[in-house]
């Protein structure tokens, strides 16, 4: 990951995630990190948002590449992982264990962490959904994280806001995500400032 030179007052924020973070199927300027960067800049924040998203990544993949994906300049990380675990029907216990290790490693480095949650697809059944959906708020509470319950809030299931695959947000869908998540990201930045 390339870290451009910037002054000491600029906060370096890494979005560690999967295709939803990476900007699957979108021009670079239309992806999550670019739109979040623009929204934060427009609100007067001196922040550099780094794209640590890899399409198809699972929580295990995020854990495996954590050390090089989150550079030394980073001060905060948005963790957006688990959707691919769910789509593959992986055990929520495994997802939780991987996310727990990611959070602990980041906190051990003194980084502020924001956890972006995901919800299980209804076709996986109620027991899977209950197990999967519960792991995010549980981790957020246990580790005292800034928490955004559902990354795709307001976008999931709306064909106008998704690409043809009906899974990945289009440019307008990302704009909705950024608008919704912005106050939570600002809480994360406030923790760094304090």
Burial class (CB in 10 A: 0-12, 13-18, 19+), 187: middle
Domain locations along the chain: 11-193
194 classed as catalytic: no
Question: For residue 53, which phi and psi values (nearest 5 degrees)?
Answer: -95, 140
Question: For residue 169, which phi and psi values (nearest 5 degrees)?
Answer: -65, 145
The mean of the pLDDT values for the chain is 95
**Res 7: pLDDT:** 60
**Structure pTM?**
0.95
In angstroms, rounded to a whole number, what is the distance separating the alpha carbons of residues 112 and 1? 19
pLDDT band at 1, cuts 50/70/90? very low
In angstroms, rounded to a whole number, what is the distance separating the alpha carbons of residues 187 and 140? 14
165 classed as catalytic: yes
**Beta carbons of 46 and 10 less than 8 angstroms apart:** yes
pLDDT band at 14, cuts 50/70/90? very high
pLDDT digits (tens, 9 = 90+) for 123-153: 999 999 999 999 999 999 999 999 999 999 9
158 classed as catalytic: no
The CA-based diameter of the chain, rounded to the nearest angstrom, is 50
Q: Which residue out of 19, 45, 50, 59 is catalytically annotated?
A: 19
In angstroms, rounded to a whole number, what is the distance separating the alpha carbons of residues 3 and 45? 18
pLDDT digits (tens, 9 = 90+) for 80-126: 999 999 999 999 999 999 999 999 999 999 999 999 999 999 999 99
Q: Which CATH class is domain 11-193?
A: alpha beta
């Amino acid at each position: 990951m390339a870290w451009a030179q910037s002054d000491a007052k600029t906060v370096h924020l890494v979005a560690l995630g999967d295709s939803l973070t990476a900007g699957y199927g979108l021009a670079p300027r239309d992806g999550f990190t670019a739109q979040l960067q623009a929204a934060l800049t427009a609100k007067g924040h001196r922040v550099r948002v780094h794209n640590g998203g890899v399409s198809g990544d699972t929580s295990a993949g995020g854990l495996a590449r954590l050390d090089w994906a989150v550079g030394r300049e980073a001060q905060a990380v948005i963790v957006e992982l688990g959707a691919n675990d769910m789509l593959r029907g992986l055990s929520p216990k495994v997802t939780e264990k991987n996310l727990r290790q990611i959070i602990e490693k980041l906190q051990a480095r003194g980084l502020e962490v924001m956890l972006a949650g995901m919800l299980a697809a209804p076709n996986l059944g109620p027991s899977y959904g209950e197990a999967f959906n519960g792991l995010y708020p549980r981790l957020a509470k246990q580790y005292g994280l800034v928490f955004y319950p559902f990354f795709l809030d307001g976008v999931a299931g709306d064909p106008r806001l998704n690409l043809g695959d009906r899974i990945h947000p289009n440019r307008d869908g990302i704009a909705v995500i950024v608008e919704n998540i912005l106050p939570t990201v600002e809480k994360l930045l406030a923790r760094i400032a304090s």
